[in-house]
Structures are given as C-alpha cells and as structure tokens.
Amino acid sequence: MAPSRVAPLIGSLALGALLLPGSALAGSISAPGFLAGPDSNAATPNPAAPHYNPAALGGTSGVRTMADIQTAFIRVNATTTRNGGIDPNTGIGYKAAEASVMVPVALIGASWKPIDQLAFGFSVSDSFVGGGDYTKAEPDQKKPYVGHQRYAGVQTAIIQLHMVPAVAVTPIEGLHFGGGLKIIYNTISALQAADPLHTEGVHPDDIGGDPTARTRPYEGDTYLEGSASGMSLGWNAGIYFDKFKFARVGLSYTQNGPFKAEGEGKVTVPDYLSQTGELTEVDALVTFDQPMPAVIQFWLNSDINDKLTLGAGFEYQMWNSCCGGPSDTLNPNGAEGGDLRIGVTDKNGKPIGPDTTDLTISVAEEQWSPRRLMNSGNYAINGGYAVSDLIWVGARAQYSQNAVPDYAVSATNLDYQSVGGQGAVRFRFGKDRKFTAGVSYAKFFTFDREITNSVWDIGNGDPRFSPETPYKANTNGTFSSKVDIAGVRLAARF
C-alpha cells in the first residue's frame, strides 16, 4: 500500500473575531465577555489598564486592586450537507452537531502610583481562545465519532494566560505614555479524525459492496489527539490624554507574540492500516506554531457631569497583515501565509511510518492548517451612571465582525458576526467607600452563518486553502450559537 498522510490534528485553530478586548485571541466558541466590566477600555484608568492600555495607569492614584471573574455559557449548533449530499455522513442522523461549553474568564489587576509622574501596574487574564466538544453529537456516541464535523475537529480547547507588567509616565499634566510586556502561556488539547484513504467514512471492506449498507461507518478513520503548552512574548504600548474630563482619549497598540506549544499525543490507526492487523496506537510528540495579529484600540470617554459618563470606541484586529495573506506555496514555511503549523513525530523525534512502527501509512512531520483571515473589528458604546454614593450602574453595546471567510468556517472555527451587550451594577462600601462589589450579565446574539459554496465543493474554493483531500475546511450548512455570560467584580483602593 502506498504511504498516505494522516490529516492535521485540528482543522482550524479557533482564533478569530469574537474578541476578549485587547487580547486578539478569542475565537468563535469563545467568551466575548468584557473583562473588568462595561466601562473598562483603552481610556479607563483602573487596574485593568495593563490589559487595555498601559498609558491609562497614569490616570490612577494610590494603590488599587481588582478582580473580574466571568463564566460564559455557550451553545453551538451546526448542520451540513457535503458534496451535494453524496457524502455518507450527510444522511439521517448525521446532519446535526452541537457543542455546549462553559468557559471561565477572568482578569486580576493591581496598580500603584507612587508619584505624579510615574505609575506601575500588573494584570493577569485568561481567555478561552476557542474550540468545542462535539463528542456527544449523537445519542450514546462512542468511537468512531460520526458527527459531520469530524474532519474539522471532534474536540478542541485552546486556553491562554496573559501576564502583563506595565509602566506609565506622565511628562506633562494630562498626557501619559505607557508600555507593557505580555508574557503568554499557551495551552491546547485536541482530537481530530482523518481519512487517509479518502473513503469518506466507509470502511475499505465495504467499498465494493452496497454503498447504502455502511455497517461500519468511519471505522476506516485514523485519529490524532494530543495536548501541548508553551510560552510566548508580546508587548503593548499606548497614549492616554485626560487633560479635559469631557474628552478623555486612549489609543493603544498590542503586538501579540506567536502561539507556540509543544507536548505529547498519540496516533490511533485502524486494523487495516497496521501490519499486525490490529488497531494500533503510536505515542507522538506534537507542536503548534501560529503567528498572531496586532491590535489597535481607540476609545473616547466623556464625563458629562459628576454622575454620568458616556464613551465609544473600537478595536481593530490586523489578521490579514500577519495571518491571512496568500502564500506562494501550498505548504508555506515559517510565518508565510500566516498558517498554523502542526508538527507530529514519534517519541524519539523521528517520522511516524512503516520504518519505525507497525503502520502501513506515513504521518507527515509538518502539517498545515491555512487560515486566510481577514481584518476585523469590534465597535462599541458604553455608559455609566452613579445613582448615589453607594450604587453605580453601567452598560455597553457592541458589534463584532468576522475574521474568517465563509469557505473557511468549521465546527471549531465559526467566528460569527454578533451584536450584544453587558449590564452591570456595583456597590461601594466600607470606610470612605474604598471597596466595591458588583455583578454583571452579558448576552450576545450571533448572526447565523449560511455556507453554500465551501471548499468541499471541488473546484469552487481557494486551492491554497485545501491543496488535497480531505479538504481542510468545513461543509455547506448552517451554523448558529447562543452566548450568556455572568460575572462578579471585586475591587479596592488604598
């Protein structure tokens, strides 16, 4: 049997347009919550400033701390038809897939301004970058998984932790400059099905028989699964002007470091692809490398009076500059084309194949999941009102764009357009009202994605995106989701 490839561990790294502000890292099944509440942005001087705009630390005073903890409840539904319904997994019982994800996201920050001209800050935040668990798409489902999303990611979870030490200087009153170092801890776990012989879910023993009598669907699949982690560095910088309270302006630029992770996994191969005639598992080493986009944030807040504040702004993610441009080759190297690079070897760092294992197939050491992303942005308005010395209420409304073109959408990389908002109430208490506690709730309404001409329709897609079968994009179909986010806020000033 001629050696054949096993498909990438995940079809698409779910990094996209539903952004946790300032992170440029949240993906389609991510929590698009507003860390630190509806009033936190590039022009808000609080301990979240290292995350949004380090220069805004110049507008703080004394020592302040805060913790904003949220949980998002996300439900995703997908339907599909592939190759005009010819694909066996578009029949009855195979059309629908769903994932339910509960996502914790948080920001903890502190600021200290020892003198008028100098301020320091530090924030720690985590984000569920993207993914989904489709292992329960069918009743009592077990391997082999039969959901249509199998070749785009059966299960994927990508989480990042951001640590940002920052400093701000104030050369003249009302004008602040700041910068921060982003220390990023990356984690990913995934399970991916592959179809190395291009039988589309049919066991080779059944190919010569009745095509409607697939008694062993998807037993011909191989599986790649693994988990990996790693560190990367980035930076952010900004300017904050608060000379006039009716026009407090913040502008920041974030350069996110590349997503880099390495770890362990395994390749599971069915009996007919093993020299032993039995299902075979091979321990593997896996690596992930993906360039990340720069993000620009601009915000204008205006203190209408002592009680009312209104604001508006945007964040613009430059995906196409780093991760969405065309490449000159089908399998680009380095950051060219912005593709996700996946490395797979055995535990000794050697290629997995007949020379080192009992397999009759070879697993490519370098695999690619092209992104071809577009620039995108989030646009929002916010407001806050001090009902009394004890109670503050605030709200924010936002529209988020897609970063992923229709033909690239998959079950783990949906990247919806959405509209939504957040409301919050906070209570001040203690001596001199130094302590704050609050709650928030956010709701997002996503725009359904109707995919009618995906790369699965041979000849109608971008050849750079899917150079060979099985194509590394999803199918025609409808994708929808619901997102609810609840959170609590604790803060103190000294």
Q: What is the pLDDT of residue 170?
A: 97
| Neighbour-count burial of 7, counting CB atoms closer than 10 A to its CB (0-12 exposed, 13-18 middle, 19+ buried) | buried
Query: In degrees to the nearest 10, what's the CA dihedral of 46, 180, 165, 109?
Result: 20
Q: Is the peptide bond before 114 cis (omega within 30 degrees of 0)?
A: no
Q: What are the residues whose beta carbons fall under 8 Å from the beta carbon of 135, sequence distance 6 or more?
A: 141, 145, 154, 155, 191
Domain limits, the chain: 49-493
Using 50 as the pLDDT threshold, list the residues of the chain that sit under it.
Answer: 1-4, 7-31, 83-94, 213, 325-337, 456-472
DSSP category for residue 81: B
pTM as predicted: 0.84
Q: What is the pLDDT of residue 129?
A: 67
Q: What are the residues whose beta carbons fall under 8 Å from the beta carbon of 211, sequence distance 6 or more?
A: 88, 202
The tokens 């409304």 sit on which residue?
Answer: 397
Fold of 49-493: Porin (2.40.160)
Pairing mode, if any, of strands 391-400 and 435-446?
Answer: unpaired
Q: What would the DSSP string read from start to end of 109-120?
A: EEEEEEETTEEE
Whole-angstrom distance, CA of residue 55 vs CA of residue 170: 9
Q: Are 390 and 433 within 8 A, CB to CB?
A: yes
Buried b (16+ CB within 10 A) or exposed e, 389-419: eeebebbbbbebbbbbbbbbbbbbbbbbbbe
The tokens 């996209």 sit on which residue?
Answer: 16
Whole-angstrom distance, CA of residue 62 vs CA of residue 68: 20
Q: Are 406 and 370 within 8 A, CB to CB?
A: no
